[in-house]
Amino acid sequence: MTILSSRDHTCVHPVVSRSSNRNEKCADLLEGKNGGSCVYYHGVHKLSEHHALQFARKKCQAWDIEDLVSLGKKLRACAYFAARELMVGADIVFCPYNYLLDPQIRESMEINLKDQVVILDEAHNIEDCARESASYTVTETQLRFAREELDIMVVNNIRRKDHDPLRAVCYSLTNWLQESSGQLKERGYEISCKVWSGKEMLTILHNMGITNATFPILQKHFAAVLEKEEKLSNLHGGEELIEVPIMSPATQIMLKGLFMVLLYLFKDNNRFADDYRVALQQTYVWTNEKQLDIPDKNAFFAQPKHKRSSRQKTAVHTLNFWCLNPAVAFSDLSGNVRTIVLTSGTLSPMDSFSSELGVKFTIQLEANHVIHNSQVWVGTIGAGPKGRKLRATFQHTETFEFQDEVGALLLSVCQTVGQGVLCFLPSYKLLDKLKDRWMHTGLWRNLELVKTVIAEPKGGDKADFDALLQIYYDAIKYKGGKDGALLIAVCRGKVSEGLDFSDDNARAVITIGIPFPNVKDLQVELKRKYNDQHTKTRGLLPGSQWYEIQAYRALNQALGRCIRHKKDWGALML
C-alpha cells in the first residue's frame, strides 16, 4: 500500500517544512536554485527499501502517514517522494479524493486510473469536490504579474516564439477585464459583478484568437517554455544542454489553472461549455498604503514618507470560471476506470447523485442502521425552557431573546446529560455571536461550572486544533471535578465530518438551525438556476431541492458523530 498526501503533511526538510509555500520551496531546492539541494530527496530510496516497511508488507500490516514521516526523519529521507515511489508496486493507494478528480493534481502525482477500482469514501462531498476541481479563479493582479514576467522573457529574447503567444493571452485577458469592469452591476454592499455563460465566453475567447483550433497550439507553446534545458549544437558538430530561465512557479500555477479550464471549455467540441459560468467580481479591500507600494527598482525618486500610513480603499477584481456540473470532472474518472464505488452514511437521496455525476449506478444499497431504536433518542425541539419559539432564521438569531433561550436550553442539556455533548451551529458567525452574548450574560460561566467548554476555532493550524480536541477527550476521560465536556462546532467545519466521537465522547448531539449554503452567494445562486434549467432534460433536482439537500446532508453528517458502533447510544436533538 501507499498513502499519497501533500508536502504539508509529509515534507521533512527542516527549512521547507516550516515555510508557508512548501511546493515552491521544494521545487527551488530540487532545481538547485542558488546552489541548494535536498539531501532528503536524494535519500528517498532509503525509505522505500526500509526493512520496517518490508516487514509491514510481509505481515500485511497497514501503516499510517505519521509512521512514514517519523521513519523519514530518522533516515533523513523524503516521505513525500517515497510515498509516490511506493505507488508503483502498491495494490492499494490511499489519497484524498480531489487527487483523482483534479486534473492538475492527477497529472503532477502521475496517477493513472485506467482499469482501476476506485472507492470513494465519505462520498457525500464528491459533488462539491468535482465542481471545484473543474473550476478556476484568478485575480487581476495575478494576470498582471504573469504579463509582466512574460514581457521580460520576450524583451530578453528568451524562447520568444513560445512566450509571445502566451503573453498575448495575458494581455487580451487583462484588457478585457479592464473593459468589462465598467459594466458591473451592484450585488450588495461594495460588491458588484457581471456573469457570462460558457457559450458567451467562447465568443469572447474567439475574439481574442483563442479557439478550438488555436488552443492546442498554445498548449504546445506552454509545454515548451516549461522545459528547463535546451539542446544547442556546438562548434564541433555535437550537442550540449544549456539551462534556460523559466517563469516563476506562481505564473506557472496561474497558467496551468487557466489552461485546465480552457481545455474543459473546448473539450469534445465544446460539449461542456454550457456547464460553465464566468463571473467577474469586484470587491474592495482596505489596505495600508505601504503594502501597496511595490518597490520600483527603476524609480529615481524615493517614495514620500508621510504618505505611508494612509489607509486606502482598493478595488479588487476576480475572474471566476465556475463549473456548475460535477459530471464535467467526474467524466474523466467514469470513462476510464473499471469500477467506482461511492460510500457514505449520508448518500440518500441516491438519484440526486446519479443525475449530478452523470453516471448510472446500477448497484445500490441502502442498509438499515446497526442499532436498536432503544439506543437512540431523536427529537426536534421547537421551544426553549422559557417556552420561547426557537426559529434559527437570520432575523431571530440576531435577537438576545433567541440567543438567551438557546443558551438556557444548552445549559439544561449539559446539566442532564453526562460526559460529552456536541453542539453544532450553521456558521462561525453565529458561534461568535452566541459566545459573545453568553460571556456577557454569565451563561458561559454557568456552562463551565458543569462541563469543560471548547469552541471550534475558525481556520488555524491542524496541530492547534488537535490539541483542543485532546483537551475535550481528556476532560471526559479524567473528569476533573466536572461532568465531561461540551464542544461547540460548526456544520461543514472540522468537527462535523470524519471525526469519531464514540461512546462517552458524545452522549448527545444538538444541532441549532439548518446549515443552508449562503443564499446570497453568487455561485450558489447560479447553481440553483442551472439546475432549474436542466431539470427536465437531465433529470437534475430542481434548484430549491438541491439547495435543501445540501443543508440536510450537512446536518446528517453532524448528527452522525454520535452513534459510532452497534453498542453505542445517545441522544440527537434538532
- Which of 257, 169, 150, 155 lies closest to 214 in space, CA to CA? 169
Q: What are the grid coordinates assigned to 117, written together?
A: 477500482
Q: What is the DSSP letter of 228?
A: S
Give residue 228's pLDDT: 82
3-state DSSP percent of the chain in helix, strand and coil, to 5: 50, 15, 35
What are the phi and psi torsion angles at 548 (to 5°)? Answer: -70, -40
Q: Which amino acid makes up residue 209?
A: G
CB-CB contact of 274 with 540 (8 Å): no
Phi, psi of 245 (to 5 degrees): -65, 140
Pairing verdict, β 311-323 and 2-3: unpaired
Question: Is the distance from CB of 165 to CB of 133 less than 8 angstroms?
Answer: no
Give the CA dihedral 132, 136, 142, 147, nearest 10 degrees: 150
Give me 446's grid cell.
Answer: 454557568
- DSSP per residue, 465-494: HHHHHHHHHHHHHS-TTS--EEEEEETTSS
Q: Are 196 and 277 in contact (CB under 8 A)?
A: yes
Distance between CA atoms of residues 458 and 416, nearest Å: 29
Distance CA 388, CA 409 (A): 11
Quote the pLDDT of residue 55.
Answer: 63
Q: What is the pLDDT of residue 293?
A: 47
Residue 354: φ, ψ to 5°: -55, -45
Is residue 403 within 8 Å of residue 434, measured between CB atoms?
yes
**Rounded Cα gap, residues 133 and 308, in angstroms:** 40
Q: Residue 22: its pLDDT value, please?
A: 87
Q: Residue 48's pLDDT is what?
A: 76
Euclidean distance between CA atoms 79 and 149, whole angstroms:
34
pLDDT at 8: 87
Determine contact, residues 358/539, Cβ cutoff 8 Å. Answer: no
Position 408 scores a pLDDT of 96
Query: Grid coordinates in use for 493?
Result: 467545519
CA distance 452 to 415: 12
Distance, CA of 379 to CA of 14 (rounded, Å): 52
Cell of 29: 531546492
Along the 574 residues of the chain, how does pLDDT read in single tens digits?
Answer: 899 998 988 999 999 988 888 888 888 888 777 777 898 998 888 887 775 666 666 766 788 888 889 989 999 999 999 999 889 888 899 999 889 999 989 988 889 999 999 999 989 889 999 999 999 999 999 999 999 999 999 999 999 999 999 999 999 999 999 999 999 999 888 899 999 999 999 999 999 999 999 999 999 999 999 988 888 777 777 788 888 888 988 899 999 999 999 999 999 999 999 999 999 999 998 877 554 444 444 444 444 455 555 678 889 999 999 999 999 999 988 888 999 999 988 887 787 788 899 888 999 999 888 899 999 999 999 999 999 999 998 889 999 999 999 999 999 999 999 999 999 999 999 999 999 999 999 999 999 999 999 999 988 777 788 899 999 999 999 877 788 999 999 998 888 876 889 999 999 999 999 999 988 899 999 999 999 999 988 889 999 999 999 999 899 999 999 999 999 999 999 9
Burial (0-12, 13-18, 19+ Cβ within 10 Å), 192: middle
Q: At 319, which helix (H) or strand (E)?
A: strand 311-323
| Contacts for 329 with CB less than 8 Å, ≥ 6 apart | 101, 102, 103, 130, 131, 133, 134, 323
76 Ramachandran zone, left/alpha/beta (phi>0; psi -120 to 50)? left
Number of residues written out for the chain: 574
